[in-house]
Structure 1
C-alpha cells in the first residue's frame, strides 16, 4: 500500500486516477475470463479455426475482409517507402544476401510477400538462377517494373497471388532444370495425386521473406511462410531467411508518453461529459445511458491496448527476457499462434540518489530479433547450405528506430519506486490470437510486485492485465 499511496499523493489528478484504476481492474477481471476461455478453446480446436483463413477456404467474403483489413495498405507505394527507408531492416537483408552469395549461386529462390521486389532483385544479383517473387496485392505490377528496370527480369518472375495458391510454372522445369531432393517416379505421378503434386513442388532452395509484424507475430504472415516452406522448400537442404526469431520483453520507464496516454483518456471522458450537458441543454435529450459503453471504448483504446512507441535505450529498466523462440525450418502453424505461458522475473532498482527522488515503472515493452544463419535442426545441419556470414537483426531500443517500433503495455497506474528501493516483478506473459481477427493478438500479464525498502519487503497482490495489440 505504501507504493500506491506514494503514487496517488504525487498525482495531481488522484481521484481520477483512482477511478481509472478501479475501472481498469474491473475490466481486467472480465477480460481475463474471456482470455482464459479463448485459451481453452484454442487448445481444443483444429488449428484451421484460428490460423489465417483467407487462402485455404473458398469464402470470398473472408478474402475480401482480409484484403481490406490487412493487404490493402501494402498495395500503396507510400507504405512500401516506410519499410524501404528503414536502414536497419534494409541492411540486414542486403548483408544476409550479398555477403552470402555462395548460398544463392545457381539456386532457386522464393520471395514470399515480395512487395516492391527489392529482395528478389538482390537474390538475382547474388547469383540465383530462378527467383519467384510472390506478391498478393497490385504492388506486383510495380515489382515487375523494378525487376525489369534492374535487368533481372530473365531471372525473376513476379507472381501475383497468395503463396498458398501458387503453382510452379510447368515450363520452368526444363528451362531452369528444376529438381526435387527426392525425384518422384513417373509411375507415382500418373494419378496426379495431391501428395505427388506436393512433392513435385519442393524445388526451392531458399525462401526469403520479410514477414515480421509488430512484436514479431502481429499480422500473422508467418502462417503463409510456413505453408510456403511445406509446399515448396527442399526439406533437407532448403533454408529460410531469416532462419530464427526471438521475442523479448522488459520493464520500462517512459513517464512522459505514459502520462500523455492517461491525459488523452481523461480529456476524452471530459469531452464526453461536456457533450452530455450540451445535448441535454440544447436538444432536451439525455444521452448519459451511453456513458458506460463510451468509457469502455476509451479504456480499451488508451489503457487496455498496447501502444506503438519508439523507445530509447535508457528507458529499459532491466535486462530483457526471452518469451519465445522460433526455428523457421521446423516451427509449425501451432507455434505461430502466439506465446504459451512464459515466466519472467525482473529486479528493478531506483537510479535516484536523493531521498525524495521517485521514479516510475510504466509498463512492459516487447520487441524481437531475427537471425540469418545456417540451419540448426539435425537434418538441416547435415544437408543445409552454410551461411558463412550470418547476420543478426534486432528491433530493440538500443539499436535505434525501426519501422516496427516497440509495443508498450502500460500499467494502470504506474508502479512508483523510491530512491534506493528495489522492486521485483515476478510473473508470466501469454499471447493468443484475437477472436475478432486471426491477424491480431491479445496479451495477458500476471505478476506480483515485491518492493524492498529500508530492509523490509512488501509483497502486493497478484496483478492481472489483458491488452489488445491493435
Structure 2
C-alpha cells in the first residue's frame, strides 16, 4: 500500500517476530507515515485500488453477509465500513497508529459503529473474542513485498481465520518485463553532475582550507552510485514501453503462504523481445486477485493490477530496475533473467536484489551474462 515514491507503503500492523527495540524503530520509521490523513487520502484517491476492493466486497457479498471480518491495518477504516455495509455481523478493524481514532469517527459517521470495532494495536498482539470468516487487508507495497506487511497478514490468518475462512485478496503475482526508458540516461547524468560537484568541492577545500578531502571520493562515489544507478525507480510506465513478454516470477496463495516462502524470491525466466529497441531496464509490478478459495469460492473474481496503463495506473506504479549497460535487441531475441530478491539485513522492510541477464539473439549469437545489483528502498 505505497503512495509516495520510495516511502513506506501500507497502513499496517506490526511485523512478526520483531524484538522490542526493533518495534520501536519500526514505529518511528514506518507506522508514523500512516498516522497522517494526507497519506491516507493519497491512497483513497487511487481509483483503481478503490474500485477493485469495492467490487471485491460488494460483488461477493455472500462472503460477508452475517460473517465476522478482520481488517488488518484498517487505516481510515474504509474496508471495514464496506464490510459492514455488505452485511457483516461483526468487523474487527486493527490499526497500529493513531489513525484508529479517525477510523472510529468514520464508522460512527457512517452508521456502522455498532458493527465495526476499531482496535488500536498490532495484529501480533491483539486478542479477539472469536475466530473470523474473512480477513481483508490492503497490505501490498511496492513490487508487492516491499514493507513486509504480508507477514502481519499471515500472522492474523494463522491466529484468527476459521478453517473454511477466506482471504481478501486471495492470490497475488509478481511480474517482470523488459522495457525501454530514458530514466537511465537521466540518472547517469545526475550522477555525473554530483561527481563533478564533488570534484570542485575537493579542489576548493584544498585551496581555501588546506585539507585534502580526496580520501573520501571512493565512498562518496559508492553512495551516489547506489542512489542514482542501483536503486529502483518509481514510475508509471506506458504500455508501449514494454518491449517483450512479461513473466510471472512469483505466485502467492494468501491462504497457505508462509513467511519463509516470501522472505526470499528467486526465479529464472525467459522473456521474448517483440521489437527492435534499446533494452535499458526491467520493470516490476504485481496483481492481486479476489476469488475466495477452492473450498469457499467467491461469486465473481476481481483483479487489481498495477501493470503499466495508458491512463496512468495506480499509486503503486511500477519499479524500474536499470540495466548497465543497456542492450540493443531485436524482435525474436530472448533475454534470460536470473532474479533474486531478499530482505535487507539493515531493514527487513526493504529489499536487496540481483539480476543476471543473458541475451540470446535470434541469429543464435549469445551475449555474455551481466549481473546487476539493485536496491528497493
Give the TM-score band, short-chain normalised: over 0.9
Structure 1 Cα separation of the partners of residues 236 and 33 of structure 2: 22
Residue 347 of structure 1: CA displacement? 2.4
Cα shift at 1:430? 1.2
Aligned to 2:225: 299
Asked whether the 8 Å contact 2:245–2:274 carries over to 1, the reply is: no
Within the candidate set 354, 357, 360, 1:444 is matched to 354
Mapping for residues 280-299 of structure 1, pairs under 5 Å: 280-299=206-225
Paired position in structure 2 for 1:464: 371
- Say whether the 8 Å CA contact 2:236–2:317 is kept in structure 1: yes
**Aligned 8 A contact 1:109 1:130 in 2:** yes
Matched, 1:387 2:315: no
Higher helix share: 1
Deviation at 1:421, TM superposition (A): 6.2
1:270 maps to 2:193 = no
Contact 1:317 1:348 in 2 (8 A): yes
Asked if the contact 2:80/2:93 (under 8 Å) is kept, the reply is yes
2:178 & 2:184 partners in 1: Cα distance? 13
2:264 to 330, 334, 338: 338
Deviations 1:53-75 (A, max 9, x none): 85545x43211111112111011
Residue 92 of structure 1 aligns to a residue whose secondary structure is: helix
Equivalenced residue count is 364
| CA 371–92 in structure 1, closer or farther in 2 if over 3 Å, else same | same
The normalised TM-score by structure 1 is 0.75
Look up the SS of the partner of 1:299 in the other structure: helix
Between 224-233 and 359-368, the greater mean CA deviation after superposition: 359-368
CA contact (8 A) 2:14 2:123 kept: no
Match of 2:52 in 1: 92
Distance in 1 of aligned mates of 2:14 and 2:127: 19
Measure the CA separation in 2 of the matches of 1:411 and 1:446: 10
C-alpha contact 1:54 1:62 (8 A) present in aligned 2: no
List aligned pairs for 1:118-137, cutoff 5 A.
118-137=78-97
Q: Distance in 2 between matches of 1:118 and 1:424?
A: 45
Shift of 1:301: 1.1
1:104-183 aligned at under 5 Å gives the runs: 104-169=64-129
Q: Does 1:364 align with 2:364?
A: no
- Equivalent of 2:136, from 208, 232, 253? 208
Pairing partner for 1:228 from 156, 162, 165: 156
Residue 172 of structure 2, aligned match among 245, 264, 269: 245
The structural deviation recorded for 1:350 is: 3.5
The TM-score normalised by the length of structure 2 is: 0.93
CA distance in 1, matches of 2:258, 2:275: 42
Is 1:403 the counterpart of 2:363? The answer is: no
Maintained 8 Å contact 1:164/1:224: yes
Over 3 Å counting, the alpha-carbon distance change for 1:324 and 1:421 in structure 2 is: closer
Distance 1:401 1:349, change over 3 A: closer
Report what 1:5 is aligned to.
none
Q: CA deviation at 1:410?
A: 0.4
Relative to total residues, which structure has the larger strand share, 1 or 2? 2
Q: Please report the RMSD computed on the Cα atoms of aligned residues, expressed in angstroms.
A: 1.6
